[in-house]
Amino acid sequence: MIADDDFDSYKSASISVTKDTTISLIVDSMRESVIYFKKYLQANYHLEKKLNEDELTQIYVEETQKVLRRLDLPFNVSCQYRDIYKKSSGVSDFYYYTNEQGHSNISIFSVESKRLPTPEKRREREYVIGQTNNGGIERYKFERHGKELQVAGILGFIEIESPTFWLSKINGWIVEVAKNNEFWSNAETLKNLEFQRDYCISQSVALRKKGHIDLFHFWIVLVSTEC
C-alpha cells in the first residue's frame, strides 16, 4: 500500500522517481548487499566471536554503502538515525536519505534490526513486542520509529531455524497479542514471503492510532537450512 507520489515537503530536486519507485530501489539494493555482507562474514571471521546486533548491522550498512556508490542511486544509507525532523522518540538502527548535499537528510526509509532468535530468552518476542513498547514492530506502531513515514523496514538476522519457522513463530506472537490487546490485529501478520537462498522478504502493516505504516521484513539467512 505504498502511495505513488513524491516525497512530501522534503523531496529533493535530485530525485525524479516517485516514492513507490524509490522504495523498490531501496529494497533491490538491500537484496544486492546480502551477498557482499555474507562474503565479508565468511572472509573475516578472524573476529572469532558471536557478533551482536549492532555489529552485524554495522557490517551490513558498510557493504550497502559500497553497493549504493557503485549503482549511483539518488540516496544513501547510514547507521543510527535520530529524528530531528519529525521527532520520533527512538533511534533507528539505520536509514536511507536523499543524496543532494546541503538539503534535508530526513529518513525516507528507516530500518530496525533484530537477531532471530534474540540473545536472551526473556526477550524472545522482541521482534514483535518488548518492554516499554520497544519491540521491533511495536516501535513502528507507537511511532518511536518512522513517524509520518508510510513505509519502513525490519532487518532480521536468522541464526537458528528457517525463515518459515520464524514466519510461523512471529505470526503466532502477533495473533496471541491481538487476543488481549485491542490495539493489535490479526491483520498485522506477515504475508507474501519471497524465498531466496540467502534472504527472504515478507510484508505487513503496523496499525497506528491514526492510519498505518507498511513494513518490509528483510531476513538474511546466516544458517545452513532450507527456507
Nearest to 219 by CA among 86, 114, 87, 82: 114
CA 163, 164, 167, 172 torsion: positive or negative? negative
CB-based burial of residue 16 (10 Å sphere; 0-12 exposed, 13-18 middle, 19+ buried)?
A: exposed
pLDDT in tens for each of the 227 residues of the chain? 333 333 232 233 233 334 588 999 999 999 999 999 999 998 876 556 788 999 999 999 999 999 999 999 989 999 976 665 665 666 788 999 888 766 667 888 999 999 999 988 889 999 999 988 789 999 999 988 887 889 999 999 999 999 999 999 999 999 999 999 999 999 999 998 898 989 999 999 999 998 999 999 999 999 865 54
**98 inside domain:** yes
CB-hemisphere CA count at 13 Å for 186?
Answer: 3
**5 inside domain:** no
Q: Between the CA atoms of 157, 162, 166 and 169, what dihedral angle is there, to the nearest 10 degrees?
A: -150
**126 inside domain:** yes
Question: What per-residue confidence (pLDDT) applies to 6?
Answer: 31
Number of domains in the chain: 1
**77 inside domain:** yes
Helix (H, G, I), strand (E, B) or coil at 193: strand
**9 inside domain:** no
Instruction: Report how far residue 220's alpha carbon sits from residue 200's, in angstroms, rounded to the nearest whole number.
Output: 7
**Which domain covers residue 84, as residue numbers?**
19-221
**68 inside domain:** yes
Question: Which cell numbers in the block locate residue 209?
Answer: 492510532
**14 inside domain:** no
**12 inside domain:** no
Question: Which cell numbers in the block locate residue 91?
Answer: 533511534
Peptide bond into 119 cis (omega under 30): no
Please state the length of the chain.
227
